[in-house]
Amino acid sequence: MKQKTMGLLVCLLMILILPGCQEEIPKKELVRPVWAMKVGDAASMAGRWFPGRAKATQEVDLSFRVTGPLITRPIGVGDEVKKDQTLARIDPRDFETNLRNVQGQLSRVQAALKRAKADFDRVSRIRKQDPGAVSEAMVDRKREAVGRSKAEIKSLTAAVEAARDQVIYTYLKAPFDGTVVAIYVENFEHVQAKQPITRIIDHSKIEMIVNVPESLIIYADDVTKVRIRFDNFTNREFSGQIKEIGREASQKTRTYPVTVIMDQPEDIKILPGMAGQASGEVQRSEKSRQQRIEVPIGAVFTPHTEKQNYVWVIDDQAKSVTRRAVAIGELTETGIVIVDGLKAGEWIALAGVHSLREGQQVRILQQTSEEVPQ
């Protein structure tokens, strides 16, 4: 019995002692994904090609503003049309009849107004000459009759204009010079108001929307010339210019839409939907402008205990972050200017700056990634 008791005590002691003899297993630090950007410069903007897709300068689906049966549709897909050219027409007879009816009503009320004015003038003259011959109440009734006729004329004049517009709306006309690319109805078909009838595009000029990273969008205003290439014409390069610069970044990609525009070449035709690329040449006359660095406002932070501004700089080799003091300048439409403390080519964190710590291991999320930390 004593031997069994001793054996149990020995086993219990071994259980308690052995864990203490084991080496402590180090905890593996989790690598945090960080939404980041690479600080750019003007040279980076000039040397980049941004993908895009061609689109027509103007494109529209046309429809009637009235309902009725088509009586003519003299166009086909691929036809070139001129501004104000008739593309289709609805049978106008019902609308023309309605116009004649309201015009007739207006003529009758105009005649009634003429009689009412004559009556009012007559009784007013009699009352002035002999106050007892005509009562004041009769004068008031004649005056009211004139007022009613004037009100009816005003209403019917508006009705005539509306009816005349209805007749005009039976014509469907081209709003600009262009090409018919689709027809949605057949001739003699009964169509509804706002039902798409045809689609025309104007590709006398070609547009392309490209997405520029927020690290480079500051230099878009300095682009003096745009070069454009298309995958279908690899041996050609076309000149264009910036038409519009978007001022709001995509929440997923953190890029800004920039619209470039070019003339349609005479010897070939660029069609909407063709894939291509665009690159901008940046004006380099202002050295200080070329060295200016701008970052999103959210990348700059100030600790509660300090007055100094900082950013988190990412070592893309060691994959770790380091806090760095920066001097800031003015606010812009796309971010804040960094006067000192950063240089082109460095990576900085854009999100979660208040929860990072010195030396923390991170994984850079590219700007085109849809994985955006909150």
Residue 317 near residue 356 (C-beta atoms within 8 A): no
Give me the chain's average pLDDT, please.
85
Predicted TM-score of the model (pTM): 0.62
Sequence-distant (≥ 6) Cβ neighbours of residue 221 within 8 angstroms = 245
Q: How far apart are CA 81 and CA 210, in angstroms?
A: 30
* pLDDT, tens only, 266-321: 889 898 999 999 998 876 545 445 456 888 888 899 988 888 999 999 998 888 99
In what helix (H) or strand (E) does residue 202 lie, and over which residues does it extend?
Answer: strand 196-213
Q: What is the pLDDT of residue 67?
A: 97
In what helix (H) or strand (E) does residue 89 lie, and over which residues does it extend?
Answer: strand 86-90
From the centroid of its chain, how far is CA 300? 28
- State mean pLDDT over 80-101: 96
Sequence-distant (≥ 6) Cβ neighbours of residue 10 within 8 angstroms = none
Q: Residue 201 pLDDT more than 90? A: yes
Q: How many CA atoms lie within 13 A of 10 on its CB side?
A: 6
Q: Residue 372 pLDDT more than 70? A: no
* pLDDT, tens only, 120-154: 999 888 888 888 788 888 888 989 999 999 999 99
Q: How far apart are CA 272 and CA 53, in angstroms?
A: 8
